[in-house]
Amino acid sequence: MSDIIALDVSKGHSYCVYYRNDSCVTEFNFQHNKLGFDRLCATVKCATNPTFYFEATGIYSRPIERFCRENKIPYALLNPLELHLKTENLRRVKTDDKDAHKIALSAFNNHYRLVQFQDEKYLKLRELSRFYEKVENSRKLYNLQLHNEIQQTFPEIEHFFAKKTSFLALNTINTFPHPDLISGLSRTKLKNALIGETNKFISKDNALKYADKLLRLAKNSSPAVHVDDIQVQEVQYYSRLLINLTIQKNKLKKQMIEMAKKLPDFEIISSMPGIGQMTAAMLLGEIGDFTRFDNANQLNAYVGIDLIRYQSGQYLRKDHINKRGNPKARELLFIAVRNMIKQQSAAPNHIVDYYYKLKKQPVPKKDKVATVACMNKTLKCLFSMIEHREKYAYAYTDSKSTEIN
């Protein structure tokens, strides 16, 4: 049996215990710096085929994960709730050193699944996906702030554009946040300003049409603030932020797709109707290498859509998904299924057929229940396609992967 090194990970440091044959050889606290990892490395060299066990603590456990990957040390990233249930006892004493010993003893008594090493591209793709999500959330927040301020400075300009977050719209709002900045301009000067202030090509004829409409809106506008009030500065501030965030979003989107194309499963996943290149890239980022799972049930558990069943005596609770898996992957899968249903006229799809079959059963399923069932079926189908290295085809069938449960 391999030696066990258990860590209680905290912010910037960890408490380490090294066990061999059920007895503790050494224990120490170390900082997450070069000196600390040198000491941990010395412990690893003294051990026989060591395996690391530690809780997933977000960003604080990342340095330990990197240490294990770079030194090719097998490790188990433990779910804090699962570990708590397996180490709970009547005496509740919690300290870093005692927690580390609990983890080590639990590793002897339980079979924890070890993390399988993946290509670094999957890890980088995940970070890109998370960064993209943060940028998009910031865009939504600042767009709301911009809307609130525009209602005070120049509310009519929001209805001037079909898409309020386009570069033309944002640049125009940044240049003319108040109608008084337009009223003194001729249509020619306004046309030239519109052409010069956007990085998107716009013809002179269209620019003149925009200029005429802006002049009419400015003439009839009666804003709540004056041109020299603070709200005008706020409009320009939020519009510039949105311009920069939109540029960053487009850059990240392109970067993610280019990186995902280098992975072997990208073309297979994106071949499924309703899953575009961006969704395929984000799924690969969140789920990683599909082949590291032994079967589709493990994949479902990782995403968190496997069923929980509870029965006690005559009481039988209604089944529901456990939601303990990856919430971001679950959200992406939900969006993918909804896209399949929306785009059903574009190409035939087994998932859409299954959705409507569930909706038309003798006891029709509710929309959300049917969607979750389709998420489960989509994962099984993707897993089988990747396992057999085949792109999606409507005639594609596999009794094990696409069987309707």
Separation between Cα atoms, residue 227 and residue 236, nearest integer Å: 12
The H or E element that residue 231 is part of is helix 230-260
Separation between Cα atoms, residue 296 and residue 290, nearest integer Å: 9
Least confident piece of the model among 182-186, 302-306, 381-385: 302-306
The confidence band for 396, taking pLDDT boundaries of 50, 70 and 90, is low
C-alpha distances out from residue 229 to 144, 215, 236, Å: 20, 21, 12
Q: What is the DSSP string of 171-207?
A: HHHHH-SSTHHHHTS-HHHHHHHHHHS-SS---HHHH
Does residue 400 register a pLDDT over 50?
A: no
Predicted local confidence at residue 346, as pLDDT: 86
- pTM equals 0.82
Predicted local confidence at residue 167, as pLDDT: 85
Does residue 326 register a pLDDT over 60?
A: yes
Does residue 402 register a pLDDT over 60?
A: no
pLDDT mean over 331-340: 93
User: pLDDT for 74-121, tens place per residue?
Assistant: 999 998 877 877 777 644 556 767 889 999 999 988 888 888 888 889
The confidence band for 399, taking pLDDT boundaries of 50, 70 and 90, is very low
Give me the chain's average pLDDT, please. 87
Closest to 67 measured CA to CA, from 50, 85, 79 = 50
Residue of 361 and 339 predicted with greater confidence: 339
The confidence band for 318, taking pLDDT boundaries of 50, 70 and 90, is low
Q: Token pair of 125, please?
A: 């793709």
All structural domains of the chain, each given as residue ranges with its CATH number in brackets, are: 4-117 (3.30.420.10), 124-257 (1.10.287.4070), 266-388 (no CATH)
